[in-house]
Amino acid sequence: MEERHEIINFSDKIPVKIFINKLGNVPKHWHNSLEILFILSGTVHILVDDKYYSLNNEDLLLINSQSLHELYSDECELITLQINLSKSEFFNDYKNLFFSCCSIDDTDKNNYDYIRYLLAKLIKVNESGENSFLTIAITCLLLNELVTNFQAKKPDKFTEDKKNFNQLSNILDYINNHYREGITLNDIAKNEHFSVSYLSRFFKKYMGVNFTSYYNKIRLEHAVNEMLSSDEPISAIAINNGFPDSRAFVSLFKESYGMLPSEYRSKNTANHYFASGKNEINYLAVTTSSSLTNLAKYLNMFPEHNVNLLQRKLDKQIDIGTIDINKCKKILAHKFRKLCCVGSTRDLLFSEVQDMLKQLQREMPFEYIKFHGLLSDDMMIYDELSDGTPILSFTYIDKVLDFLLSVGLKPLIQLSFMPKALASDKEKNSFFMQYNTSPPKDINKWVYLVTSLTNHLIDRYSLKEVLKWPFCVWNEPDTPPEMFGFKDTTSFYNFYKATYFAVKQIDKRIIFGSPSLLLLPEDPFNWYYSFFEYCYKNKCLPDFLNIHYYDDNFEILTKNPINNIILNRLNTDEDSFSKYLDSLFNRLELYHLKDIPVYMTEWNLTVNHRNLINDTCFKACYITKNLLENYDRLNSFGYWSLTDFINELQPSEMLFHGGLGLFTINGIPKAHYHAFKLLYKLENELIDSGKGWFITKSSEGDTIQILLYNYTHYSNLFATGEIFDMTSIKRYTSFSNLCNSIFSVRLSNITYESCIIKETFINRNNGSSFDSWVQMGGQPLTSNEELEILKSHSQPGMYIHKENIKSGYLDLQITLEPLEIRLIEIKFKVKQTT
């Protein structure tokens, strides 16, 4: 079986394709493209015409066009470059040349390094999508290298009548296009106007196997791919792929694989990230791939031939135009300040987490806080006597809530997860802390727990206070049962209703919202419509909508909601957050929720706690861009999460390990923490905004704030989970279009004589603790002194200057480095006299 991930495919425009292949066996075939293979890992055995090769890591082989070849491997990853020289007149002079290029045939392996370098460059210049001109340039360099150093005499067999190859090509195309139809040798003979006996001899001569063997390989290969990527029954898969019935398929499969298809499917769909050998999704086992590392090391091997010199990147010029400072587009509510987040209730008992939260509240106070695990076993809230009588203890909950109220935060009371003594399935667990996510074994005992807790909160903190706290139940029940969902959807709806009324019967004024929902654009099994229709009919519609957003590509959840899944892809669209909100508001009326308040109670780039760009300036720019472009569209934007000190995964030994927090595990603010501080300085009146800029003013009109950002999206290749040339120190390699942005703006209608301008900026040299750590050497920090020095070196930069106002105008031109954020605060001085 072969898995292929396409990196470059220019179709007919440019005849170049690059794939990352994961190989099993590829039957004998040929094509008109010149093909270069570079082995990333593993071993592959290749038969080209009559010559056998065994290739290992970093070996390189060129297969000439019209060469018959087949590949066999137990497990191998390789890069395949195909150049179809006959599809472009530009390359016509090369299409009849023959090359001898195989690294294992040469005692000097370095002779092939320049080809490896050019392969790496082809991927690098195209990692963000199509880059046609540079692809042509590098392809020409590659062909020049082959012609200069690897051209060889064409073997005698290549001088035979080319008609045979054209006929064979037609036959193979026919098989590939009609393999699902149960074709026979008679069908092909009729199509090609051959006799059956002649076609049989012709096929065996050029393909090395008879037609039936080859056809069975093709059908079996496609059937196995479908078997591992879908939930279709074996019988349907057999028919889909040209077998007369399932018995014929099973018989051939067992002969080829030594086991039944059902055994093979069970064995090969189990994912090695699953804990305890169970068939479940590990929600946080999201990884990046380093498949291309062996190729990436060649990127800087030939500086004297550096392909980067072929590409010159100019600064982006952004003319904001003339802005009337007396204009007020709208009044801002600053709803991003509404809610902050911390990992779990238990985390709030640690002094380190409390200290970070105190700093947050001192420097930019929030109103509410969201956290998981209020009812989980680490809070020791629920147990049972031997006769099943519930025992409740709210001691740890009280300690947490007392602390939160002391720093000015109100809790969002999320009633989850399930105490194991009350769980219907004690083995259904999530996160490293093994929070139980199964339904209650007894709904009456669950209602007793919820009712007792709510009454306790009212008794301890007063009804007046508790009426200010939002309540909800459960986390992401719209995900598959292997994550947080229930196996029976209706049982979750009933669970929600019972919880809703348990709280509302105490006082109907208590705010009770929806469960925390991902609200995927593609609704799996119509989950959302069914849920809200149920709520509407049962008079338990939520008081607010509680949603999460991550820029992971969740398409796999909607297409395969019951399969084993690893989430390791990001959205390639830099505007996906805005488009998600557009889609959300378009759907609310359908769900009977047209005017409902919408609170985003979790939000981040990814659920992955080990994505290395989480620690970089990119994250600060990502947050700034998305908040400014969607300012106040929701009632909250709860950034997940406060700190890398979070018990969802086992703690990393690395200080900067790609965690989600605003703080590192030991309390060092990251670049995006400082980004929130700049956002917090925006005033209440919006003058105007656009891509890359946002301008506000105070109600008195004597101060202006201009917040600028120079955003660049990560590459398409990185979005697939492939880190290529990224390392723990070099984390900006996935941003291929980095350049400065020069903003120009004229402020008009100014009635002051002068102003003081304070510019505060966050970039790779200022305000980024990760980049400061790299500048310190990128080594583990082992003392408090070293950590304090890193903190002191990680402050935003600042520049203060005075400017005079001429004729009521102030002209500004500001240059931002790639991924920089800059807040320009203008304080006007001395009113002009008339």
| CA dihedral of residues 351, 353, 357, 360 (deg, nearest 10) | 120
Tell me the average pLDDT across 367-391: 97
Residue 676 confidence (pLDDT) above 70 = yes
Select from 680, 584, 629, 93 the least CA-distant residue to 334: 680
- Please, are residues 374 and 672 in contact by the beta-carbon 8 Å criterion? no
**pLDDT for 217:** 81
- Please, are residues 347 and 646 in contact by the beta-carbon 8 Å criterion? yes
Q: Grade residue 778 by pLDDT with cuts at 50, 70 and 90.
A: very high
Highest mean pLDDT among 47-51, 259-263, 747-751: 747-751
Query: 274 or 321, which is more confident?
Result: 321
Pull the structure tokens for residue 471.
């309540």
Q: Is 446 exposed, middle or buried (0-12, 13-18, 19+ CB in 10 A)?
A: buried
Pull the structure tokens for residue 181.
């139809």
d(C-alpha 720, C-alpha 302), whole Å: 28
Select from 87, 101, 58, 85 the least CA-distant residue to 140: 85
**pLDDT for 315:** 93
**pLDDT for 229:** 67
Beta strands (DSSP E) in 545-616 are 545-550, 598-604
**pLDDT for 117:** 95
Q: Grade residue 93 by pLDDT with cuts at 50, 70 and 90.
A: confident
Residue 285 confidence (pLDDT) above 50 = no
Strands 60-63 and 34-42: antiparallel
d(C-alpha 688, C-alpha 745), whole Å: 12
* Percent of the chain residues past pLDDT 70, beyond the cut: 91
Residue 554 confidence (pLDDT) above 70 = yes
Residue 448 confidence (pLDDT) above 70 = yes
**Does an H or E element contain 409, and which?**
none
**pLDDT for 215:** 87
Lowest mean pLDDT among 55-64, 262-271, 504-513, 767-776: 262-271
**pLDDT for 92:** 72
- Please, are residues 557 and 479 in contact by the beta-carbon 8 Å criterion? yes
Query: 65 or 820, which is more confident?
Result: 820
Q: Grade residue 258 by pLDDT with cuts at 50, 70 and 90.
A: confident
Sheet holding 410-411, edge to edge: 339-344, 368-372, 410-411
| Eight-class DSSP state of 107 | S
- Please, are residues 76 and 23 in contact by the beta-carbon 8 Å criterion? yes
**pLDDT for 255:** 87
- Please, are residues 551 and 660 in contact by the beta-carbon 8 Å criterion? no
CB atoms under 10 Å from CB of 739, counted, come to 14
Q: Grade residue 207 by pLDDT with cuts at 50, 70 and 90.
A: confident
Residue 187 confidence (pLDDT) above 60 = yes
Query: 358 or 830, which is more confident?
Result: 358
d(C-alpha 157, C-alpha 542), whole Å: 75
pLDDT in tens, 587-620: 998 899 989 999 999 999 999 999 999 999 999 9
* Percent of the chain residues past pLDDT 90, beyond the cut: 64
CA distances 98 to 64, 92, 385, 427, Å, are 7, 13, 82, 62
Lowest mean pLDDT among 179-193, 323-337, 486-500: 179-193
Residue 115 confidence (pLDDT) above 70 = yes
Predicted structure pTM score: 0.85
Residue 710 confidence (pLDDT) above 90 = yes
Residue 273 confidence (pLDDT) above 50 = no
CB atoms under 10 Å from CB of 139, counted, come to 21
**pLDDT for 507:** 98
Tell me the average pLDDT across 28-38: 85
Q: Grade residue 6 by pLDDT with cuts at 50, 70 and 90.
A: low
pLDDT in tens, 697-706: 999 989 999 9
d(C-alpha 21, C-alpha 432), whole Å: 33
**Does an H or E element contain 20, and which?**
strand 16-29
Lowest mean pLDDT among 154-158, 431-435, 542-546, 768-772: 154-158
Residue 559 confidence (pLDDT) above 60 = no
Select from 26, 67, 71 the least CA-distant residue to 59: 71
Tell me the average pLDDT across 739-756: 97
Pull the structure tokens for residue 731.
């984390």
d(C-alpha 112, C-alpha 566), whole Å: 36
Residue 156 confidence (pLDDT) above 70 = no
Q: Grade residue 163 by pLDDT with cuts at 50, 70 and 90.
A: low
Residue 562 confidence (pLDDT) above 50 = no
| CA dihedral of residues 757, 761, 766, 768 (deg, nearest 10) | 150
Query: 284 or 114, which is more confident?
Result: 114
CB atoms under 10 Å from CB of 460, counted, come to 14
Lowest mean pLDDT among 170-174, 492-496, 631-635: 170-174
Residue 799 confidence (pLDDT) above 70 = yes
**pLDDT for 770:** 98
pLDDT in tens, 417-433: 999 999 999 999 887 77
d(C-alpha 791, C-alpha 340), whole Å: 23
| Eight-class DSSP state of 100 | -
End-to-end Cα separation, the chain, in angstroms: 83
Between vectors from CA 561 to CA 557 and to CA 566, what angle results, nearest 5°? 50
Q: Which amino acid is at 698?
A: S
Name, in order, each residue with C-beta under 8 angstroms of 272's C-beta and a sequence gap of 6 or more. none
Tell me the average pLDDT across 446-466: 98
Q: Grade residue 23 by pLDDT with cuts at 50, 70 and 90.
A: confident
Pull the structure tokens for residue 142.
């590659």
d(C-alpha 193, C-alpha 199), whole Å: 9
**Does an H or E element contain 213, and which?**
helix 211-229
Q: What is the Cα Rg of the chain in Å?
A: 31
Tell me the average pLDDT across 622-651: 95
Pull the structure tokens for residue 212.
């039936």
Question: What's CA 60's distance to the chain center, in Å?
Answer: 31
Query: What is the chain's mean pLDDT, rounded?
Result: 89
d(C-alpha 55, C-alpha 37), whole Å: 10
- Please, are residues 741 and 692 in contact by the beta-carbon 8 Å criterion? yes
Tell me the average pLDDT across 197-204: 86
**pLDDT for 556:** 58
**pLDDT for 165:** 67
Q: Grade residue 9 by pLDDT with cuts at 50, 70 and 90.
A: low
DSSP 3-state percent helix, strand, coil across the chain (nearest 5): 35, 25, 40
Between vectors from CA 358 to CA 355 and to CA 359, what angle results, nearest 5°? 90
Residue 40 confidence (pLDDT) above 80 = yes
Highest mean pLDDT among 131-140, 163-172, 248-257, 541-550: 541-550
Strands 34-42 and 821-831: unpaired
